[in-house]
Structure 1
Amino acid sequence: MKNKKKYSFRKFMNDVHLWLGLASGIILFIVCFTGTVLVFEQEIKEFFAEDFIVEPQVEKQTITNLAEELKAINDFYVTGVTIPTNENEAYAFLVKEDLNQRRGTKVLVDPYTKAIYKAEKTKADAFMFTMFKLHRWLLLDTTIGRPIVGVATIIFLILAISGIVLWFPKKVKWKTVKQGFKIKTKANWKRVNHDLHNTLGFYACIFLLVMAITGLCWSFESYREGLGYVMGTKIFDRSSPEFQLEHNSDVRSISYDEAIQLANQTLNYPGELAVTFPDQKNNFYSFRKYNSDNWSPSTSDKLFLDITGTVLKIEHFDEKPFNQKLAAVIKPLHTGDIFGTFSKIVYFLACLIATSLPVTGTLIWWNKLKKKKKKTVK
C-alpha cells in the first residue's frame, strides 16, 4: 500500500493560485485588457482630435486680454489657464458656465490671434470613457462594480505573490532556475503555453504588484485611508491650503499677467505652468509648474500668491519628505505616467502580459485535466 503524499506548502500555493485564478479569470481579463488600452489614453484621444494649429508671431496677447475675450464672447467664468512650454502650442483655459460646477471645460486659445477652439468630444473620447468604466466598475453601478473590481484586484495580488513562489523550482539550483527565464519556442504548444504563463508572468510581476497595490486606492476608501495612515500622509489630497487673508479694498490687486510673471520668477526654470485664478472661495492664485528637465513629468512644484503678489507658500516637490512624495505619485505609479513615454511602454507590455495570464493559465489547467482523465480511463 502506497503512502499518501503530504499536503505540502507548495501544493497549497498551487491550489490557491489555480482556483482563485479560475474564479476571477474573466474579470481580471477585462480589467487587464482595459488597463492595457488606457495606458495610452491621452495619446489616443489626441490622435483622433481635430488639430488646432498655432503659428508663432511677433507679439503674444496677454492672459488678461484672452480671459476677458472668453468672458465677453461666451459669458464664461474663467477659472484658470495652462501655459505650455512650446511657443507653437495653444493656451488651455478652464472655463465654467456656473461656478458651482465641479469640473470645467477646456477651451484652447491661440495666444497670438485670439482664435478660440472648444475641444469637442470625439468617438475616441467615448471609447476611452467606456474602457475607463469597464476598468473601474465593469459598466455596472459604481456601488456594485467598484467593490467587485476591488476584490478581483486583491485576488490578483494573491495570484502574483503565489505565482512568484511557484516560479521557483522545488530544488533551487541555477540549472533549474535559469529555465524560468526563457521560453522554449521549439517545444510543443503545451510547453510554449506553460512558458508564456510562467516566464512572462515573472517578468511582469513587479509592475503588476505596483498596479494592484495602488489600484486598490480607488476601489476601497478604507484601504486608501489605511494606506495613508501607514504612510503618515493623506493620499489623493486635493484640498487647497487655508490662508488668513485680510480683505482691503484700498490695496491694488495684480493682474493675471503680473501674477504669472512673479510665478515664473519664483519658479525659475522652463516648464508647463498651470494657474488657478482667485475666486469667491479662494482669494489667491494657485500655481503648479512642471519642470521640463525633471526626472518625472508627473511631479510639480506649487506656489501660492495673494492678490497683491505676496508669496504665501512655496512647495518644492524635491524638498518634501519621502512619504509625501510617494503619496503624490500614487496615480502615475498606477497608470504608468511616472517616467513618461518609457514607463508607459513598460506598463503597456506588462498589462498585455497580465491580459494573457488568465488565458494561458486556464489552458494549463485544461491540459492537466485532460491528462488526468486519460490516466483514469487507462
Structure 2
Amino acid sequence: MSPIKKVILFCHRWLGLISGLVVFIVSITGCIFCFQDEIQDAMYSYRHVNTKGEYLQPSRLVANVKKQYPKGSPDYIYYYGVNRPAGVLTNMGKDGFEYVFLNPYTGEITHHEKPQTNFFIIVEYIHLYLLLPPAIGKWVVGVSVIIFMVIMITGLILWWPKRKSDRKRSFTIKWGGRWLRVNYDLHNVLGFYATSIALILAITGLAIAFEPVSKAIYKVANLGTNVKNEVVEPKSDSLKRAGVSDKPVIDIAFSYARKHAPDAQMFLIHNDPSVAGAIGVGAYAKSMHYSHANGWEFDKYNGKLLKAYIYDKKSPGLKLTEMNYDIHVGQILGLPGKIIAFLVSLICASLPVTGFIIWLGKRKKPRGKKVKVAVHRKTHKKQLAAV
C-alpha cells in the first residue's frame, strides 16, 4: 500500500470510530422517518376526512380553535388535501404549541396533540439534534455528517480496484465465504453502491439544518448570483393600516391562492407575528409534497398583494432549495424514491457496525507468531545425508 493510501486508511478508520455512533443513530431515525406519512395514515383515522363541498375559510377554522384555546395564537393553517384534514398550529406561549386538526368542510375539531408527544416528531428531533438542545445538537449531527461524507469518499478511494480483472469480484458479495469475509464485502460493496445517494442525503440534510448550506446551494444553482425579488423580504406599508375589506386578510390570501392555483392540492398559510407585516400562502401541486409551489405574500393590515412567487418564474436555485425536503426523504421520486432513501439510510446505518467489526478483527490478529516453513521430505533427507 502506498504512503498516501496509508494516510487515507488511517483517516478513514479513525474518523469512522469518532462519528460512527452518531451516524448510526441519524441513519436509523432517517429510515423510520422516510415512511412517516404512510405509517400515520394507516394508524390514525383523523388523518382522513370525507369530502363535503367547499373548504371553509381559514378564519372560520381559526375561530373554532380560538374557542377551544382562547389564550392561543393560531399562526399556521394547513389544508393538506381533498381527503385530508386541515391543521392549525397554535402557539400556547410557555406551554409550547398545540397542533389542532379539523374537518376543513365542517370546522369540527377531530384531534389535537402537542407536537413533542408525536412519535415521529420525536424521531425527527433525534435525527436532527439527538434530543440535545437544538443549538448544540445540530452541530454534533452536522459535524458528524460532514465527517461521514469524508469517510464515504476515502472509502471509495481505498476500495476502488486497480486491475480490471478484480472489478467483478469487488462489485459482488461472496456469500459463501467466512462470516468475516461476508462482513468485509458488506462494508465495501454496499458502501460503494450507496455512496452517491448517501452524499445527496447528507448534503440535503445539512441544508435543512444550516441556512448557509441552503444559501450556498441556491447560489451554485444560480451560477453565483442572487435574484433580488427572491431574497428581499416583503414589508407592509405602515401608512395604510386601515383595512380595505371587511374580510379577514387570511381569507383574502386563501381565496387569491385558490383562484390563481386551481389545481393545487395543498395550501399552507402563515400569519407568524415574527414576520413583519406579511401573511403568506403557499399552493403546492401535490398533497404532502413541498416542492413545485406557487406563493404569495399579502400586507396583513390591508390585504394588499406584496409579492408573488410563481413556480415557472422561479430561479433554478429557488426551485432546487424548495425541493430539498422532498429530495432528502426520497419522495421527489414518489414511492420508489422513498424506498431508495430507506435502503440507503439502512446501509449507512450498517457501515459503522461492519466497519467496527473489520477494525476489531484486525486488532485481534495475533502478532509475532512464528511462521511454519514447509520442507520437502526428500530435500530434507538429502541435506541430512550431506551432513
Length-normalised TM-score, structure 1: 0.79
Q: 1:122 & 1:104 partners in 2: Cα distance?
A: 7
Q: Distance in 1 between matches of 2:241 and 2:209?
A: 46
**Cα distance in 2 between the residues matched to 1:317 and 1:153:** 31
Q: Judge conservation of contact 1:254–1:308 (CA < 8 Å) in 2.
A: no
Q: Does 1:315 align with 2:309?
A: yes
Once the two structures are superposed, the pairs formed by residues 289-308 of structure 1 within 5 Å of their partners are 289-292=283-286, 297-306=290-299
**In the alignment, which residue of structure 2 is the partner of 1:82?**
78
Question: CA offset at residue 205 of structure 1?
Answer: 0.4
In the TM superposition, residue 281 of structure 1 has moved relative to its aligned partner by 6.2
Query: What residue is the counterpart of 1:204 in the other structure?
Result: 194
User: Which residue of the other structure, out of 336, 347, 353, is the alignment partner of 1:353?
Assistant: 347
Give 1:108 deviation, angstroms. Answer: 1.8
In 1: Cα distance, 2:328 partner to 2:13 partner: 26
Distance 1:369 1:331 in 2: 41
Change in Cα spacing, 1:103 to 1:265, as seen in structure 2 (3 Å) is farther
User: What is the CA distance between 1:80 and its match in structure 2?
Assistant: 4.3
1:180 aligns to what? Answer: 170
Instruction: Tell me how far 1:268 sits from its aligned partner.
Output: 3.4
Query: Which structure has the greater CA radius of gyration?
Result: 2
Number of residue pairs matched? 363
- Match among 117, 132, 146 for residue 154 of structure 1: 146
Further displaced range: 146-155 or 198-207:
146-155
Aligned to 1:95: 90
Q: Does 1:111 find its partner at 2:104?
A: yes
Ranges in structure 1 where 5+ consecutive residues have no aligned partner? 1-5
Structure 2 match to 1:135 = 127
Residue among 50, 61, 79 paired with 1:55: 50
**Superposed counterparts of 1:1-378, under 5 Å:** 7-49=2-44, 51=46, 54-57=49-52, 61-75=56-70, 76-86=72-82, 88-97=83-92, 104-121=97-114, 125=118, 127-142=119-134, 144-171=136-163, 173=164, 175-217=165-207, 232=225, 240-244=233-237, 246-247=239-240, 249=242, 251-255=244-248, 256-277=250-271, 282-292=276-286, 297-306=290-299, 310-371=304-365, 373=366, 376-378=369-371
Distance 2:258 2:291 in 1: 19
Name the amino acid aligned to 2:26. V
For structure 1, which segment, 353-362 or 34-43, has the greater mean C-alpha deviation from structure 2 after superposition?
34-43
State the percentage of identical aligned residues: 31
In the alignment, which residue of structure 2 is the partner of 1:3?
Answer: none
Cα displacement (A) at 1:204: 0.7
CA contact (8 A) 1:32 1:354 kept: yes
Unaligned runs of 5+ in 2: 372-387
Provide the alpha-carbon RMSD of the alignment.
3.8
